[in-house]
Chain A
Amino acid sequence: MSAAARVTEPVITAAASPRSRSRVLAFGVTLMFVAVAGQLINLALRHEGASTIRVSMMSTPSGTLARPDIVDRNGRLLATDVQMPSLYADPLMIQDADEAAEQLATLFPGLNVRELRRNLADRTRRFVWVRRGLSPGMAQRVHNLGIPGLLFVDEIRRTYPAGRLGGHILGRVDIDNRGVAGVERYIDEIGASEAAFGARLSARAPVRLSLDVAVMHALDEELAGAMTRYEAAGAAGLVLDVRTGEVVASVSRPGVDPAIAEEALDPARIDKVVAGTYELGSIVKLVTVALALEGGKSLESMVDTTQPLKAGRFTIEDLHPLGRPMTVGEVFVHSSNVGAGQLALSAGLEAQKAFFQKLGLWGPMRTEVSPGTEPQKPAQIGRIEQITLAFGHGMAVTPIQFAAAAAALVNGGTAVAPTFLARDAAVPPAKGRRLVSPRTSALLRDIMRRNVTDPVGTGRRADVAGFEVGGKTGTAEMAVSGGYRKKAVLASFLATFPASNPSFLTLVMLFEPKGQDVTAGEITAGRNAAPTTARLIERVAPLLGVPAKLL
C-alpha cells in the first residue's frame, strides 16, 4: 500500500490497518454474495412459489366434496364423480337482463324466470348461479346464445350410471356433492370424501360394496315380474350371505333414482328392506320353533292344536285345522297359528322376550346405509301378545333385521351382522356370537327343507331342482290404523339354499298381491311369493357360485 500507511504502521494496531480493513470489507462482501446465492438456490430448489399458490387456493372456501367411486363387489361402477360445467352470471356484465333471462328460459324449461330476471338486474352482485351441472351439449347451446356475462365454471357432479339399480342403498348427495343418505352419507361419515379444490376428482380408492349388480338386476326383474303377475302394489327382496352377513342384493320396488331427489323423499318409495317395518307374519314361526327347540323340544314333540286358543276376547284359530295334536314339525309345515301360540306359551313370557332380544329383533338394527328403524312392539306383553308374537303379528321389524336373525338360525347358530360393504376375501370371516345350538340350527334347516319337499308343505312351490331350497311362507294381513285389512296382505317367503349347508338366504316380499287365475284366486304367500322365490333362486344361484346338485 502507500508510504504514509507504512509510516503509521507501528502506531496503529494490526486490526485497524487499511490493508486488513479492506480484507474485512472483501470478506464481508463475499459473505453477502454467498448469502444471496444460498437464498437463490433455496428458492429455486424448494418450489416455494408453488406452495404459496396452493396456500392461497386453500383459503378460497369451496363447499364441494370430491367423492370416491362406488363399485359393486365385482368392481362394476355404481357411482362416480364427473366434471360438468356450471353456468353462472356476472350481473355487472349483463347488458339486458330481461332478454338474457328470456333466452335462458327457452333452453331451461324449469327455470324460475322471474327470480332470474331480478337477480340478473341486481348490479350490486357479481355472481349469480343460473344452472349447475350442465351437459357439454347444453353448455355449448348456452355459449351459442352469445350473451356477455354468462360464464362457466367446472364443478364436480355425482352420476349414477346404473340408474335406479341400487338407488336405495347408494342414497344421494346434495348440490354440493355431500352425502345426505345411504352409502353416500356413510362415505362422508368415515371421511372417505375430501374437499374438492378446482373441481379436482378424488384419487382415492373406490368404496367396494357387497352388492352384485347382476344379482341385483335378477332380483329386481323377478320382483317386477311378480308385481305384474300378482298385481301387487309393491315388492321387496333381499339376498344375504348367511356366513358373512354381506347383502348381495337388496331391492325395493318402486325404486329410486339417486339423481332425482324427489323420488328419495317420496314416502311411497321408502326402502322396504332397510327402513320400513312390517308385521312379517308366519315367517316369524321360524323364531318360535327355534325357541321351542332351544327349550329342549324336538321336531316330534307333540303340541295340542285341537282347540282354538282363547285369550281374553280374542280367539286364535287355524285356517285349515287338522283337528288333532300336531308335532312341532307339523306346526311349522302346516303353519299353525294355534301351534305356534302354544309353543310360545309353553316357553314362557320371559324366555320368549329374551329370545327376540338375543336375535336382535327387539331394537333397531344399524347398517351402513341407515341408523335402523325402531321396531314397533306391543306396549305390554300379556297372553294375547305372546301368542300373536309367535306367529309374527303385533310386532313390526325391518325385513333386513329379520333376515339377519334368520341367517343366524340357519348358519349353524352364530350371529350375523348384515353389511353393505364387501368383505376382504383374504381375511377369514369372524365367527359371530353363538345364538342357538348347532342342533337347533340343523333341525330348523331340516324342517325348512321339509316344508318345501312335503307335498302338503306351504313352501312346495319354491322348490328348484338341484339347489335344495328350504323355506317358510308368511301371509300377514296388513295393519291399518285401528285394525287389519282382510284382503290386503303382505306375502313373504324366507328361503335358504342349499338347505343342508346354507350359503345364502333370500327374502321375497309382495305387498297387496291380488288373487289371479294362476294362484287359483288365492293371495297366500305359497301361491305368489314362493314361486317367485323359486324363479329367483334358479336364476341367481349360478351367479352366486352355488354348485347345483345334479342327479
Chain B
Amino acid sequence: MRIVNIAALLLALASAFLLYGLNYDTRMIESRLQSREREAERARADIAVLRAERAHLARPERIEPLARGLGLEPLAARHLIPGAGVAAHGITTSSTGQ
C-alpha cells in the first residue's frame, strides 16, 4: 500500500511539474504569437498606407501630364494598322500583348 501511495504521490508531483512546464510554455508561445500578430497588424497597416500612396501617385490626373511630357498620347484609330499590314511594317507582336 505504501508503495502505491508513494508512487501516486510521485506521479502527482511529476504530472504537476509537467503541467506547470506545459502551461508556462503555452503562455510563452501565446505572448510570442501575440507580438507576431501585432507585427503582422502593423505590417498590414503599413501596406494599406503604401498602397494608398501608390494609387495616389498613379492616379491618371498625375500620370497623364507626365506621359504627355514624354511624347506619349492616347491610342487612336490612326495608330492602328490592319493585321495583314503588320508584317509589311516590320513590327513584331511578341512583346505587345496584354
Instruction: Indicate, yes or no, whether A interacts with B.
Output: yes
Residues on the A chain within 8 Å of B64, using CB: 217, 221
Q: Are A80 and B51 in contact (CB under 8 A)?
A: yes
Q: A319-369: which residues lie under 8 A (CB-CB) from chain B?
A: none
Q: Are A201 and B45 in contact (CB under 8 A)?
A: yes
Q: Are B48 and A82 in contact (CB under 8 A)?
A: yes
Partner of A82, one of B23, B49, B81: B49
* Mask: chain B, 65-84; 1 = CB below 8 Å from A; 0 = not: 00000000011111011100
Q: Are B82 and A44 in contact (CB under 8 A)?
A: no
Q: Are B1 and A162 in contact (CB under 8 A)?
A: no
Residue of A nearest to B62 (CB): A163
Please, how many angstroms separate the alpha-carbon atoms of A165 and B64 in the complex? 14
**Residue of A30, A78, A466 ringed by the most chain B CB atoms within 10 A:** A30
The answer to the question of A105 belonging to the interface, with a C-beta cut-off of 8 Å to chain B, is no
Q: Are B59 and A161 in contact (CB under 8 A)?
A: yes
Q: Are A30 and B55 in contact (CB under 8 A)?
A: no
The answer to the question of A114 belonging to the interface, with a C-beta cut-off of 8 Å to chain B, is no
Give chain A's interface residue range (CB within 8 Å of chain B). Answer: 35 or more
The answer to the question of A148 belonging to the interface, with a C-beta cut-off of 8 Å to chain B, is no
Q: Are A82 and B52 in contact (CB under 8 A)?
A: yes
Residues on the A chain within 8 Å of B74, using CB: 218, 539, 542
Q: A21-59: which residues lie under 8 A (CB-CB) from chain B?
A: 22-23, 26, 29-30, 33, 37, 40-41, 43-45, 47, 49-50
The answer to the question of A373 belonging to the interface, with a C-beta cut-off of 8 Å to chain B, is no
Q: Are A44 and B19 in contact (CB under 8 A)?
A: yes
Q: B1-60: which residues lie under 8 A (CB-CB) from chain A?
A: 1, 4-5, 8, 11-12, 15-16, 19, 22-23, 26, 30, 41, 44-45, 48-49, 51-56, 58-60
By secondary structure, the A interface counts as helix
Q: Are A538 and B76 in contact (CB under 8 A)?
A: yes
Counted as pairs of residues, one from A and one from B, with CB atoms less than 8 Å apart, the total is 103
Contact flag A77-B51 (CB < 8 Å), given A44-B26, A221-B64? yes
The answer to the question of A83 belonging to the interface, with a C-beta cut-off of 8 Å to chain B, is yes
Q: Are A33 and B15 in contact (CB under 8 A)?
A: yes
Residues on the A chain within 8 Å of B56, using CB: 161-163
* Mask: chain A, 210-225; 1 = CB below 8 Å from B; 0 = not: 0001101110010000
Q: Are A37 and B15 in contact (CB under 8 A)?
A: yes
Contact flag A77-B81 (CB < 8 Å), given A37-B15, A201-B44? no
Q: A410-440: which residues lie under 8 A (CB-CB) from chain B?
A: none
The answer to the question of A494 belonging to the interface, with a C-beta cut-off of 8 Å to chain B, is no
Q: How far is the CB of A334 from chain B (nearest CB, A)?
A: 29
Q: How far is the CB of A81 from chain B (nearest CB, A)?
A: 6
The answer to the question of A200 belonging to the interface, with a C-beta cut-off of 8 Å to chain B, is yes
Please, how many angstroms separate the alpha-carbon atoms of A538 and B79 in the complex? 11
Q: Are A30 and B30 in contact (CB under 8 A)?
A: no
Q: Are A200 and B61 in contact (CB under 8 A)?
A: no
**Residue of B22, B30, B60, B64 ringed by the most chain A CB atoms within 10 A:** B60
**Residue of B16, B53, B55 ringed by the most chain A CB atoms within 10 A:** B55
Instruction: Show 26 A/B contacts (Cβ-Cβ < 8 Å), sorted by A.
Output: A19-B1, A26-B5, A26-B8, A29-B12, A40-B22, A44-B22, A45-B26, A76-B58, A77-B52, A77-B55, A82-B45, A161-B54, A162-B55, A162-B61, A163-B61, A201-B44, A213-B60, A218-B74, A221-B64, A465-B77, A466-B80, A542-B74, A542-B75, A542-B76, A543-B75, A550-B80
Report the 7 A-B pairs with minimum CB-CB distance, sorted nearest first: A161-B55, A217-B60, A77-B55, A466-B77, A161-B56, A542-B75, A33-B12
Residues of A within 8 A of B (CB): 19, 22-23, 26, 29-30, 33, 37, 40-41, 43-45, 47, 49-50, 76-78, 80-83, 159, 161-163, 165, 200-201, 213-214, 216-218, 221, 464-467, 538-539, 541-543, 548, 550
Residues of B within 8 A of A (CB): 1, 4-5, 8, 11-12, 15-16, 19, 22-23, 26, 30, 41, 44-45, 48-49, 51-56, 58-61, 64, 74-78, 80-82
